Amino acid sequence: MTAAAKLKTWYWIHKWSSLVCTVFLLVICLTGLPLVFHEEIEHWLDDGKPYATVPEGTAPADLDLIVDKARAMYPKEVIDFVFMDDEEPQVLVGMAPSYDADPDLAHYIKFDAHTGELLKDGRTVSQDKLTFMGMMLALHVDWFTGLPGELFLGLMALLFVVAIVSGVVLYGPFMKKLPFGTVRAERSRRLKWLDLHNLLGIVTLVWAGVVGVTGVINELATPLFGLWQATEVAQIIAPYKDDKPPAMPSSVQGAADAAGKAVPGRTVISMNFPGNRFATPHHYMVWTKGSTPLTSHLFTPVLIDAGTGEVTTIAHPPWYLTALELSRPLHFGDYGGMPLKILWTLLDLLTIVVLASGLYLWVARRRANDARIAAMARSPVAVLEAGAPS
């Protein structure tokens, strides 16, 4: 294959991979802007009671006390999870009509982590999706369609990565005669936007590549967790398959304490209750995370026997779940404080310009080609003599 033929092939790959994913990527980039600041926005929009003012070092409230309050509020429902926020003094208790119920019917209750006081009786998942941040997250992750939407957007992210790679291949041959950063503003509008498209594309290359690859990984979260449960977790719980689940699970606080002792130096962050789709019928799945900047994004689950309250095993996640956990902070840019969030926002805005300019260039090229064909139809000899524009 000649160099010209290879270049033509790469151009075809870049054009169609970009065109197919551009509209979806524009929505993802636009919804990603508020998601970068989701903590700040959610805190601003929170209408719950304020946290109690307590002396520094005050011990957290007993989790059993909090869970009992939640059960008393909804005696006909089941406890789905307990989340102990390590950034805000709050404990969220997730509840559902049953473990087999529609996930959209689940809801949460927020308690003060220090006093155990009720702060807010939260919305159901379906209601939460209709809030501003809920809609932004749904449009960013699955377009309100669950797993099919996740897999589809994962495919769009993969096409975005292909567009980036093919764009890099084309950048050298097309720009080798021009100094870096050249924008030929004195030429036609289309040529000016082509130069801007190429410049911003190469400037955002590394960031866009990282966000694209991590976006693909993030959209595979549901099947990856399902694979882990069907393999390693299934082997762990195999000895319990003939046992009846405990009628009343053991102490929640005791399970959290047992998990903390099993993995010293890690923080207990949440618990899935027996029957939850991420736990087993016989165990609490207690999630712990590290205390360093890197390990704080790596989670280690500990299975606690819900009948005895004893540790069954430390279920070290497989490599693909570790990759998933590391991809999330890289994708959302929420691991370096406000300066990194601002940088992520600026790069996101530049990527929106790259996507929009690519769409404009395709439309402008088609119009130019249509005009050329129309001119040739009217006077082909005159056009050939004058020289058709490239």
Is residue 382 predicted with pLDDT exceeding 80? no
CA distance 109 to 118: 8
**What is the rounded average pLDDT of the residues 34-39?**
91
- Nearest CA among 283, 159, 188 for reference residue 229: 283
Rounded mean pLDDT of 53-66?
A: 92
Per residue in 148-170, pLDDT tens? Answer: 999 999 999 999 999 999 999 98
pTM: 0.84
Of 319, 323, 315, 325, the residue nearest 232 (C-alpha): 315
Residues near 72 by beta carbon (within 8 Å), at least 6 away in sequence: none
Report yes or no: 60 and 355 within 8 Å, Cβ to Cβ: no
The predicted model gives 298-325 an average pLDDT of 91
Distance between CA atoms of residues 315 and 267, nearest Å = 15
Exposed e or buried b for every residue in 31-69, given b needs 16+ CB within 10 A? bbebbbbeeeeeeeeeeeeeeeeeeeeeebbebbebbeb
Helices (H), the chain: 3-36, 38-45, 63-73, 125-128, 132-141, 147-175, 189-203, 205-218, 221-228, 234-237, 252-262, 319-332, 337-378, 380-386
Span 278-300, mean pLDDT? Answer: 85
Local confidence band at 234 (pLDDT 50, 70, 90 cut-offs)? confident
Please give the structure tokens belonging to residue 176. 């080798």
Pairing of the two strands 78-84 and 299-305? unpaired
What separation in angstroms does the CA of 205 have from each of 9, 35, 201, 260?
A: 21, 21, 6, 42
The whole-angstrom separation of Cα 138 and Cα 157 is 16
pLDDT (tens digit, 9 = 90+) per residue, 235-263? 888 888 777 788 788 999 999 999 999 99
Residue 390: pLDDT band (50, 70, 90) is: very low
Per-chain mean pLDDT for the chain: 88
Please indicate whether residue 290 or residue 389 has the higher confidence score (pLDDT).
290
Q: What is the DSSP letter of 302?
A: E
For residue 341, the model assigns a pLDDT of 92
Residue 19 CA to residue 102 CA, distance in Å, equals 36
**Torsion angle, alpha carbons of 354, 210, 15, 362, to 10:** -10
Q: Is the separation of the CB atoms in 348 and 36 below 8 Å?
A: yes
Q: Using the predicted structure, report yes or no on whether residue 347 has a pLDDT greater than 70.
A: yes
Q: Report the percent of the chain where pLDDT is more than 90.
A: 53
